[in-house]
Structure 1
């Protein structure tokens, strides 16, 4: 059996997120997002290029949770798909695209957070077996 995969996107929230129909099952999260780009040089170094900006949407209960948790500047990883739609601009119809996120989370490479888990049905390990994970190393120069 093959591994099920979806398109993924890494970026940052560029505009204040909006939530339409917050009391409905059809709630819609919308934000403009930025995606950073890099060019690898002949000497192996990387040059940061200008970011590109795109639309990201989510629907339903996921939209409500994303609206409560994401702010401008937050780095995220999302999975979903790209869709095209028609939009009118200066009396002309143009095709636009947006990323429809099915799942979204903060990027753990750049975000500090704590996890509040529901109580598990298993005992806590003895304190002498507990270890503390150190913060992952930061990549410099990218």
Structure 2
């Protein structure tokens, strides 16, 4: 069994990118890559076009920011919470953003890890030399 712990800081830098943390956890749990693709979400919003997953405090609250590659000029390329839905802490914003990424990648918002406070725990079963 492999066990990995990550901490989401109480005031994370907006330069910290959490995309790989979520995708590596999905991979470790055998849930990604996945053949899932929604016909209800535009192709420009996908795991393949996801560039960054960051957390930022704006308007007195925390939000996740998912930034996507775009080839269309003037097309919005960021998904975030509107100001009236901003959250009290970065961990809650992280969890909500991670759920969106899981939904895009697998069709399910189920997270591939457990959390306690601002700590993320990922446990996997497999060979000692497997990556998680």
Compute the TM-score of the two structures, normalised by the length of structure 1.
0.25
Whose relative contact order is higher, 1 or 2, with alpha carbons under 8 Å and at least 6 apart?
Answer: 2
TM-score by length of 2: 0.26
Q: Which has the higher helix share?
A: 2
Please say which structure displays the higher CA radius of gyration: 1
Q: As a proportion of its length, which structure holds more strand? A: 1
